[in-house]
Chain A
């Protein structure tokens, strides 16, 4: 159809890649990289539906309930009624709030992935951002809104960058595997957060010493809400920051020297080093940028709608881990991550608070989300498997035709 090089064909053709890679690249080019993510999502929802059906629930009504709970049905009710007294519109604002976070924690996984690093520490970097944003939001009460919010966001992004930078630094200087160090940094952040917000902790609130909770962010540090009621968790301008981050991610990767070098290291660190790229520095930079995304996610959550965080919230928070599924499903690209974040945002909100309990039990549905998340990560991890299933449909087709002819 076209002689144009597709964006996935970044590998110099004179290199002699393994046959495995050629097969994968060929398939990816043919489908524009769409088959695997779409098939993955379909398979995961199918498998989840089988579990739902096997345990005696109607999977179609369950998924319909989740769809409505996420507010996706609002999109099809034209003319759009933006008043959030309307439940569908309210649900959609909540889904978009979750999407904001997921875009950023997704980017936090996607960016280092392009450099050949697997950042499992999104949760820890997110928490560090959350904690710093809370501290800034509770302090500096006399500041006007714009500088106060900017200070909170900036400080949180820097803190996240520093936190992830530890893993990058260790990888660059001692070769410590980033997966292990980011897992450890996660738990240090989780326990550190429980210490800071807990009883007698430095960031515990001043008005109720019995409650292991942080102080409340003052009004001047609230990110303004543009859709919905600010008192009832309306949608704040943070989502535009997240969308801007998607653009920044794309620009850095595709239009800067840094991005070129990061991708070169991701393809082959030895070749990149041979070409004069400082691989160690790229590791540190990639992790720091990734941490900045995750820290930003924490800041937008804290200053956008949480305003307060407790020890129990620290223990229950899982959203940073979802970034792995978001990034992998989005093939570590800007557009893909955005779409996957919207899907997971809807899934996450639609299976919990958005879900009508009479349609499907939210305590089951919440676990269904974990299951689908696991299946998606599993299937993305083995695109060979997904493509095998995709290809086997050709084997099925003549058989069906033969059956139809016989009947």
Chain B
């Protein structure tokens, strides 16, 4: 048929633009990392060289059509180069305070609620229901999680209570969005206000002016034998909370379910073209209900991590402090994909963890650093670097014919 048939053998995967772009992004990271402990290279030459390599890899990928990842690599290279140069000029003592190995552990701590929330938001939005109520569902999980752990005597009861509470509010959101066809953003905001009131009210009612009593059963840490006493790796990942690992495990799991199973295909069909899904016999309402409830449960797990996971059995009014919204941002920044959302959650967790340590340099700059996730997300939705595109039927109620 055609005289210019493509050669049958494909380029080796390692030389495809995608792989090169990913390598470029990693090089950008390395450019920064090389100037940090444990390596602490003091010569500015190394970050410059590695950073330029990363930028070159990105440029190469962009010219071959891999725009999004390629621009990512270029950005990573530029930022890595800049930060690496800054680090080589900073005092080595300060660097050791800020970039101690437990920074990695802290990144995981800050990223875990975001990971759960972002995965939850993704499940709901992939089915076509916008969920801006993540914040409220997370807050419900945080309070009822610690209440369950306190009254039930075990963190397992706490987790179950959190799942039930988050699922219940998600069910409310689902009923409103799917059956009553209410504006999903209005409904989601209502969930947020309602959760703030309900958790605050019952916290005051059940615990009064006293705090949650000490010694509440909390989710245990997992000490990995062999790693927990190693240098660097030990303080980094040797002794992390169980929920952190659950969150990490949920990322490939949700990827697999979403993209490799019939359930995932049905879910995505409902979010992209519900009428088509209905035509082939998928119960759109049922799928959306299930997705929203699962979404609320995931968000609630993130909340439970705050209260009975890392939080050590505590609760304060409005404990989530907008983490649900950052989770939403992470989901959007990650382009409604599990690994993308996780990457964004880690990036946002990193920026928060870093902001907590930057006061050794300047406390006001550290505060300003906290806006980074929001600015990045704003840039992402504006489509400056690779546009974030939601599922086609996201936010549209489905009317059966």
Contacts and interface: CB of A to CB of B under 8 A. Distances in A.
Nearest to A311: B367
B200 A366 contact: yes
Contact of A378 (B190, B363, B367, B377): B190
Given A201-B364, A380-B186, A381-B183, A174 B382 contact: yes
A369 B197 CA distance: 7
A371 interface: yes
Contacts of B325: 183, 187
A392 B6 CA distance: 69
Name the prevailing secondary structure of the B interface residues. helix
A378 B367 CA distance: 34
A176 B200 CA distance: 34
Interface stretch (B92-100, B112-120, B174-182): B174-182
Given A200-B364, A371-B194, A378 B328 contact: no
B198 interface: yes
A45 to B, nearest CB: 13
Contacts of A51: 198, 201
A58 interface: no
Contact of A381 (B187, B317, B332, B381): B187
Given A324-B189, A371-B201, A184 B181 contact: no
A20 B397 CA distance: 13
B165 to A, nearest CB: 15
B187 A378 contact: yes
A118 B187 CA distance: 12
B371 A191 contact: yes
Contact of B186 (A55, A184, A377): A377
A127 interface: no
Interface string A370-385: 1111110110111011
Contact of A384 (B181, B317, B390): B181
B362 A200 contact: yes
B193 A373 contact: yes
Nearest to A315: B321
B368 interface: yes
Interface in B170-218: 172, 176, 180-183, 185-187, 189-198, 200-202, 204-205
Nearest to B387: A174
A191 B368 contact: yes
A253 interface: no
Given A199-B363, A325-B193, A370-B193, A179 B201 contact: no
**Which 3 interchain pairs have the tightest Cβ spacing?**
A374-B194, A371-B197, A370-B197
Interface of B: 132, 172, 176, 180-183, 185-187, 189-198, 200-202, 204-205, 317, 322, 325-326, 328-329, 332, 362-364, 367-368, 370-371, 374-375, 377-378, 381-383, 387, 390
22 contacts: A51-B198, A55-B201, A118-B185, A120-B189, A174-B387, A176-B381, A183-B132, A183-B328, A187-B322, A188-B375, A192-B371, A195-B368, A198-B364, A199-B363, A200-B363, A324-B186, A324-B189, A366-B200, A369-B197, A371-B194, A380-B186, A381-B182
